[in-house]
Chains A and B, each alone.
Chain A
Amino acid sequence: MAEDSLKLLGNWVSPYSLKVKWALKLKGIQYQYVEEDLQNKSPMLLQYNPVYKKIPVLVHDDKPLAESLIILEYIDEVWKQNPLLPIDPYERAKARFWAKFVDDKCVPALMAAFSKRGEEQERAIKEAHENLKILESGLEGKRFFGGETIGFVDIAAGWIGRSAQMAGEIIGIKLIDAETMPLLDSWFQDFLGIPLIKECMPPQDKLLEHIKELHTKNLTAAST
């Protein structure tokens, strides 16, 4: 596969483009990466994703595809090595269910826990904890959601481990509690410790700086 037939438009800090990088790396697929400035979106991005105007966008033979989980499924269908989704329809449905749960419930709750104040923040933290506990049940005692090796849900959700930990340190709240969610906690550690996963992640210090900036912005917005 020639490198120029596959392009990924992404952003260094975005967990959504990170998911796609992980999938491509896991399958050993060569591609051209294009860093997008989200404050100044390129005409190319706007042309490739007119509906949402967001990254990530995967462009394969000039055909663009948006939405990270949809891109993951596409990659899994076209490149069969190291499959992400199970073959069994019931197991596949479960994997899709958990990936959707992460995006619909866990992520918004975590974001609210980080950006809100007072009572709203307390409610969001409680909700985030509850949702993470539910997510833990999805592991079903396995090492990874994919079983012995990582799969679709691991890639869809694993990024939360690092961001939630950093965000939690900044606001002084444990968002991922090793005591109340030990299996989830060790899953995050195991996942983030995998070399190919680590290699694709944004540098720790730059990520921390970015999250700190977001926190400052939130505080400023809250006080104006």
Chain B
Amino acid sequence: MTSYLCKGNQSSMADQVKLHGTWSSPFVYRVIWALKLKGVPYEYVEEDLFKKSPLLQQYNPVNKKIPVLVHGGKPVCESMIIVEYIDQTWPHNPLLPTDPYEKAMARFWVKFAEDKGSIIGSLFRVSGEEHEKAIKESLEMLKIVEEHGLGEKTFFGGDKIGIVDIAFGAFSHWLGVIEETLGLELLQPNAFPRLHAWTKNFKEVPVIKDNLPDRDKMLVQLKGIREMYLASK
């Protein structure tokens, strides 16, 4: 890692790494963690989602979303696709297992995080019966992750964090803020002892601990979002 940083190859355009994101997005943080774990220097560009820059629209014309990683002028979109790209381009400190079956299982859980994890975010945009339904689905989803995904392991990656831990990262810091904003407790320690322990262990990992958005700022932001939704009803 040290020798890579000293190579000074970030000075050439061909190797320049830029990350376009927003300060509180868990999707952006997946990419930040991957870059930090690999010791890849990068330039961060904060995007205003209400006033998307022409650059963002050019780099991600399909859905104009962040994060976008731009490496040597070439854009890569979709957070977990970016993480796989980072893992393949900078292969030291691998985020994926080497065994093909274990690798495939890791990708299975990454996909699960992508497809099912968003149910928690949806809690902001629903109320009444739909809200109750989303809570029920969130709890079912957490149960599957606890029992089938994490099992007896400390981290999803085993003894150290890997790509699946990164994929589920939002459960560690963001979920608590969502719970506080909505007055819910989803990840109860009694109901989900292993997952609850994981959130603590994950946030203790130095790269993660040093790279998390400000909790108080997030609380203000999420309360604002919820209020806006309720006002629109």
Binding site for B on A (CB under 8 A): 50-51, 60, 63, 65-67, 69-71, 73-74, 77-78, 89-90, 92-93, 96-97, 100-101, 134
Instruction: With A90-B71, A90-B74 as known contacts, state yes or no: A74 contacts B85, CB within 8 Å.
Output: no
- A-binding residues in B (CB < 8 A): 62, 71, 74, 76-78, 81-82, 84-85, 88-89, 100-101, 103-105, 107-108, 111-112, 144, 148
Query: Beyond A51-B112, A66-B108, is A90–B85 a contact (Cβ under 8 Å)?
Result: yes
Cα–Cα, bound, A131→B182 (Å): 35
Chain A residues with CB below 8 A from B77, complex form: 97
Nearest CB of B to A129, in Å: 15
For the complex of A and B, the 8 pairs showing the least CB-CB separation, nearest first, are: A74-B104, A89-B88, A93-B85, A77-B100, A93-B76, A89-B89, A96-B81, A70-B107
Q: In the bound complex, do residue A92 and residue B85 qualify as a contact, i.e. CB atoms below 8 Å apart? A: yes
Chain B binding surface SS class: helix
Give the distance to chain B from A17, nearest Cβ to Cβ, in Å. Answer: 16
Pairwise interchain contact A101-B111, C-beta atoms closer than 8 A: no
Chain B residues, CB < 8 A from A71: 104
Whether A90 touches B76, Cβ cut-off 8 Å, given contacts A66-B108, A73-B107, A96-B84, is: yes
**CA separation between A188 and B228, bound complex, in Å?**
45
Q: In the docked arrangement, what's the CA distance between A167 and B108, Å?
A: 31
Cα distance, A78 to B102, chains bound together (Å): 12
Task: Determine whether the beta carbon of A65 is less than 8 Å from that of B104.
Answer: yes
Contacts of A60 on B, CB cut-off 8 Å? Answer: 101
Residues of B within 8 A of A96 (CB): 78, 81, 84
The smallest beta-carbon distance between A104 and chain B, in angstroms, is 9
Question: B62, B74, B85: which contacts A134 (Cβ < 8 A)?
Answer: B62
Cβ-defined contact, A70 with B101, below 8 A: no
9 residue pairs of the A-B complex, CB under 8 angstroms, read: A65-B104, A70-B104, A70-B107, A74-B101, A90-B74, A90-B76, A92-B84, A97-B76, A97-B77
A50 to B151, CA, bound (A): 14
- Whether the Cβ atoms of A51 and B144 lie closer than 8 Å is yes
> Given A51-B144, A66-B108, A89-B88: A97 and B81 within 8 A (CB)?
yes
Tell me which residues across on chain A come within 8 A of B89, comparing CB atoms.
89
In the complex, the answer to whether B100 meets A74 with C-beta atoms within 8 Å is: yes
Q: Which one of B71, B85, B100, B111 contacts A78 once the chains associate, using CB atoms below 8 Å? A: B100
In the complex, how many angstroms separate the beta carbon of B92 from the nearest chain A beta carbon?
14
Quote the shortest CB–CB distance from A162 to chain B (angstroms): 25
Known: A90-B76, A101-B62. 19 other contacts (CB 8 A): A50-B148, A63-B101, A65-B108, A69-B111, A70-B107, A70-B111, A73-B107, A74-B100, A77-B103, A77-B104, A78-B100, A89-B88, A90-B85, A93-B85, A96-B78, A97-B76, A97-B77, A97-B78, A134-B62
Min C-beta distance of B3 to chain A, whole Å: 21
Q: What's the nearest-Cβ distance from chain A to residue B36, in Å?
A: 19
The smallest beta-carbon distance between A77 and chain B, in angstroms, is 5
Which residue of chain B lies nearest to A60 when distances are taken between CB atoms in the complex? B101
Q: Whole-angstrom distance between the alpha carbons of A93 and B89 in the complex?
A: 11
A89 and B62 in contact, given A50-B148, A70-B104 (Cβ under 8 angstroms): no
A93/B111 contact (C-beta < 8 A), A63-B101, A73-B104 known:
no
Name the residue on B nearest A69 (C-beta): B111
Please, how many angstroms separate the alpha-carbon atoms of A34 and B85 in the complex? 35
Q: Which residues of B contact A101 (CB under 8 A)?
A: 62
How close is B66's CB to chain A, nearest CB, in angstroms?
15
Residue of A65, A71, A89 ringed by the most chain B CB atoms within 10 A: A89
Contact B103 A93 (CB under 8 A): no
The residues of B that contact A67 with a CB separation of less than 8 Å are 108, 111
Q: Please report the C-alpha to C-alpha distance between residue A94 and residue B76 in the assembled complex, in whole angstroms.
A: 7
Q: With A51-B148, A90-B71, A100-B78 given, is the CB distance from A65 to B85 under 8 Å? A: no
